[in-house]
Structure 1
Amino acid sequence: MRTPQTPAGRTGLDAILARPAEALVALDFDGTLADIVPDPEQARAHPGAVAALAALAPKVAAVAVITGRPADVAVRFAGVAGVEGLDHLVVLGHYGAERWDAVTGAVHAPEPHPGVAAVRAELPGVLGEYETWTEDKGHALAVHTRRAADPQAAFDALRGPLGELAARHGLIVEPGRLVLELRPPGMDKGVALTEYVREIGATSVLYAGDDLGDLAAYAAVEKLRVQDEDAVPGLLICSGAEVPELAARADLALSGPGEVVAYLRGLADRLA
């Protein structure tokens, strides 16, 4: 296992190793447990990811996948349902608005924000001739520009118009790696992570992510680490180097999902 580059990260890892039964391991899906692919519908967990999670989960308080995808889609693409060792896995989908628990196999979700339906109806007119692919998540809509002739140019050109469309209907735009997601405010990975830490009473946390949407979770861990009372040590892992803002705040930078999976397996072995 590689040593975190920062003092806070080393403290976080030490806390996990000292009291693993009180540690939360929380992970993004796309770009962290699964490689980024041109078609999001083809994303699948990296080889070895499920086995690594199944080896680690019984040794810690909880393992949670926190993703912008619908919870049931993330469960299906990750291949984690019914896996021995993952009986208490939780998937927090739509940035925490949805929740799937392995113990019941059920998804709990609120009613969609009314602005999502309005945006869905107007979106084709805003996208025009741009070569994009729209992922309908039910509670949110994600516009991918990865298929465009110039993906970054399309992303930059659409950011303003999509922001205006979202604002008209009470939504916000969450930018990512060549994707712009229109979703309700108040849904973010930081809120989801903090609430789950409190729910299970975790005394340490590991969070791994790869994209701008993970910055909120990073901020949550940073805040938990410096609470006046009951501080929660944490380890922040960055998967890949495509988002400099994330890499600059990470305690440990890994090359991508393959190295993240190897690290999780190494942690499980260390706790054996």
Structure 2
Amino acid sequence: MPELPADLVDALRSLARRGRPLVALDFDGTLAPLQDDPAASRMVPAARAALERLAALDGDDAPVLALVSGRSVVELHELSAMPPGSSLVGSHGAERAHVREHGLEHDAVRLDDEQRARLADLGAAAQALADGRDGVWVESKPTAVVVHTRRAGPQVAGPAEQEALRLGDRLGSTVLHGKDVVEISVLETSKGRAVAALRDEVGARGVLYAGDDVTDEHAFEVLGDDDVTVKVGPGETVARFRVDDAEAVAAALDVLADASA
């Protein structure tokens, strides 16, 4: 198991002592190594074991688990197999669901007529910009359209992303530019809004948030000095701490489980 910075270990133990922490985590690049094929993403075994330890704790002071991802909640549920009682936040905050013993319980997402028409226009325009560009593909979500470029070479990916950003400026309400991806939503969403709402909803006394992408910076920004924010991997960040990879995230979750037991 990777060795963590001493100040991160201290912060995790302090979070556990306060009780009822919200453990909110990105999935891809945080719990699961990034894959060229998004359908191949799976949580590293050490992270799964640590999350199951945290989920087994009970009482008013027990941690509350959540994943906060750009994926749809259905796909996130299938790939992550989170323990019952966990919350899932998908599409960068536009979708919410709860993992129950017998499946997934969705919070309804409702679009008005104008939003539905704009989403249809976005889908058609995004597909048009992807056509003929090798390695560029389009994903449709209940509230958004996503242009993926991970499989494309840099000479193809760069222009495709710039065109997608211009499309978002024209038709989107929220445009999120992450690693090899541009997501255009017809709703005002962000991981920051989602984490703040979830923290208030569950009455958390502190938050552990870990993520690897530029979209996770929105979550880091809304959290306070007493919260534990962890950037996974390289890149500029406002997070308090940094770790290398999913195995290190798993080690951090183990520290929190030990201190919470």
TM-score, normalisation: structure 1:
0.83
What are the within-5 Å matches in structure 2 for residues 1-272 of structure 1?
2-3=4-5, 12-20=11-19, 22-59=20-57, 60-80=62-82, 86-103=83-100, 105-112=104-111, 113-114=115-116, 115-131=118-134, 132-148=136-152, 150=153, 152-221=154-223, 224-225=224-225, 233-241=226-234, 244-246=235-237, 249-272=238-261
Equivalent in the alignment of 1:228: none
Q: Residue 89 of structure 1 aligns to which amino acid in structure 2? A: S
CA 1:93–1:179: 2 relative to 1, 3 Å:
same
Output the CA distance in 2 between the equivalents of 1:14 and 1:50.
Answer: 20
Task: Work out whether residues 4 and 251 of structure 1, in 8 Å CA contact, stay in contact via their aligned partners in 2.
Answer: no
Task: Work out whether residues 163 and 172 of structure 1, in 8 Å CA contact, stay in contact via their aligned partners in 2.
Answer: no
For residue 253 of structure 2, give the secondary structure of its aligned residue in structure 1.
helix
Output the CA distance in 1 between the equivalents of 2:157 and 2:6.
Answer: 34
Give the alignment's Cα RMSD to 1 decimal: 2.1
For residue 100 of structure 2, give the secondary structure of its aligned residue in structure 1.
coil
TM-score, normalisation: structure 2:
0.86
Gaps of 5+ in 1: 81-85, 226-232
CA 1:170–1:143: 2 relative to 1, 3 Å:
closer
Output the CA distance in 2 between the equivalents of 1:154 and 1:172.
Answer: 24
Per the TM alignment, residue 45 of structure 1 is displaced from its structure 2 partner at its CA by 1.6
Output the CA distance in 1 between the equivalents of 2:6 and 2:38.
Answer: 31
Q: Residue 230 of structure 2 aligns to which amino acid in structure 1? A: I
Equivalent in the alignment of 1:83: none
Number of matched residues? Answer: 248
Gaps of 5+ in 2: none
Output the CA distance in 2 between the equivalents of 1:50 and 1:43.
Answer: 13
For residue 45 of structure 2, give the secondary structure of its aligned residue in structure 1.
coil
CA 1:254–1:176: 2 relative to 1, 3 Å:
same
Q: Please identify, of 70-79 and 110-119, the stretch whose mean Cα deviation from structure 2 is larger.
A: 110-119
Per the TM alignment, residue 259 of structure 1 is displaced from its structure 2 partner at its CA by 1.6
Q: Residue 27 of structure 2 aligns to which amino acid in structure 1? A: F
**Alpha-carbon displacement from aligned partner over 1:51-103 (angstroms, at most 9, x marks no partner):** 211101344331111111111210110022xxxxx332111112222211123
Output the CA distance in 2 between the equivalents of 1:168 and 1:174.
Answer: 14
Task: Work out whether residues 100 and 106 of structure 1, in 8 Å CA contact, stay in contact via their aligned partners in 2.
Answer: yes
The ranges of structure 1 where at least 4 consecutive aligned residues each deviate by more than 6 angstroms after the TM superposition are none
CA 1:130–1:71: 2 relative to 1, 3 Å:
same
Per the TM alignment, residue 10 of structure 1 is displaced from its structure 2 partner at its CA by 7.4
Q: Please identify, of 43-52 and 211-220, the stretch whose mean Cα deviation from structure 2 is larger.
A: 43-52
For residue 138 of structure 1, give the secondary structure of its aligned residue in structure 2.
coil
